[in-house]
Structure 1
């Protein structure tokens, strides 16, 4: 009887241990890919949409589906104020109410259930049409380098940025560089999208770009900052 109990107990141990080895491993979650944008088109005036009032219109944002994606987050940014509007959807289009006569940028973030990874589309800019105008103000300049918050070596460095205007009539950029925020010291005026400056060690610098077109319209960029080693 004792031998029978022993062999029964041993068989149970073997059965439990071998059963644990047969559990299937979960399939890894494939991260999503980036969506490609469709409308509103980049660097254009958006004249489509439903006019709600003298100051607002409803625009239908559209993009192509991305692989391995369960949902999307649409991010629309007012380039004059920096205020963002976001919307989550499983579709490839979304209506957003925005201000008329105002420049915006937009992007789409792809998400997959069970994955911490996301993928961002390129950022497109457009001007949401308002009352008819003969000439549009430029889009605010965007930093390229040094990237905001980065560290650089002291000495001669090159500030670079990108600028765009749907009328394609940008004439000049005024570059402001300072140790105070917002920067008020004019470093120089150029028709290029870069300027070389000299910076000292152990400082935090603030800079911004004022863009002017041939009609005299001007726009101000955000304030960018970098520190020197």
Structure 2
């Protein structure tokens, strides 16, 4: 009788182990980042009804993908003019005339997992009879916003652009320890960088206003960095 019981126990154990082991759910990965196709960077759009176009995203889990299109009136995308969710990589949206816009697209899977947002592109919708258009707001290069840096000097660098490609741009750079910088570090600067002296342990704020040769000005966003 004892032999029979042992045999049953031996054959029962593997079955118990097999039943106890379960397969894990696959990790839900975010969709890939898309590339913006149209409107291209710094484009002057004659028509204010615009067909936005971008590359298709892919999803490692094979999930269905939708796209969140954000169109803003400022480069940091805090003043959103339009947000639209679509399932294809194109959509036509009507906007106001005579406005500078900034747009990006984020892919989202059907489990609401978002990919990394695309780059931000600027464009302008020309108004009827408009001859001169204000430049786009400056785009930060370095140091990146809210970053930490080392050293006693820092090179502030940015990009400028204008949909009037023939315009000449100059820059007024404000820099200091005030959250809203009012100290003019450089005025009418034709290049896109300036070197500043800094101290360890301090946080600095800066912005760049962009002016075209007709006097039209775009007020820049305020950026900051901390010195280690």
TM-score with structure 1 setting the length: 0.82
Structure 1 regions of 5+ residues with no counterpart?
A: 51-58
1:12-66: CA deviation from partner (whole Å, max 9, x where unpaired)? 3322324556x6665565653322222222211122344xxxxxxxx43221212
Pairwise mapping of residues 30-41 of structure 1 onto structure 2 (< 5 A)? 31-41=30-40
Displacement, 1:9? 4.7
Query: Which of 172-181 and 73-82 deviates more?
Result: 73-82
The answer to whether the Cα contact below 8 Å between 1:111 and 1:119 also exists between their aligned partners in 2 is no
Residue 46 of structure 1: aligned partner: 45
Does the 8 Å CA contact 1:170/1:211 hold for their aligned counterparts?
no
Equivalenced residue count is 220
1:53-100 deviation per Cα after TM superposition (whole angstroms, max 9, x unaligned) = xxxxxx432212123272222122212884124332221123445332
Show the counterpart of 2:169. Answer: 171
Shift of the alpha carbon at 1:112?
Answer: 3.8
Kindly report which structure 2 residues correspond to 1:83-122, keeping only aligned pairs within 5 A, or say none.
Answer: 83-84=79-80, 85-113=82-110, 118-122=115-119
Q: CA deviation at 1:171?
A: 2.9
Choose the corresponding residue for 1:157, options 148, 154, 158.
154
The residue number in structure 1 matching 2:14 is: 14
User: How far, CA to CA, are the matches of 1:104 and 1:79 in structure 2?
Assistant: 7
CA contact (8 A) 1:36 1:64 kept: yes
For the aligned residue pairs, the C-alpha RMSD in angstroms reads: 2.7
In the alignment, is the contact (CA less than 8 A) between 2:51 and 2:91 conserved in 1? Answer: yes
- What residue is the counterpart of 1:217 in the other structure? 216
User: Bigger CA drift: 107-116 or 126-135?
Assistant: 107-116
Match of 1:73 in 2: 68
> In structure 2, what is the Cα distance between the partners aligned to 1:42 and 1:61?
12
Q: TM-score, normalised by structure 2?
A: 0.82
Deviation of residue 158 (structure 1)?
0.8
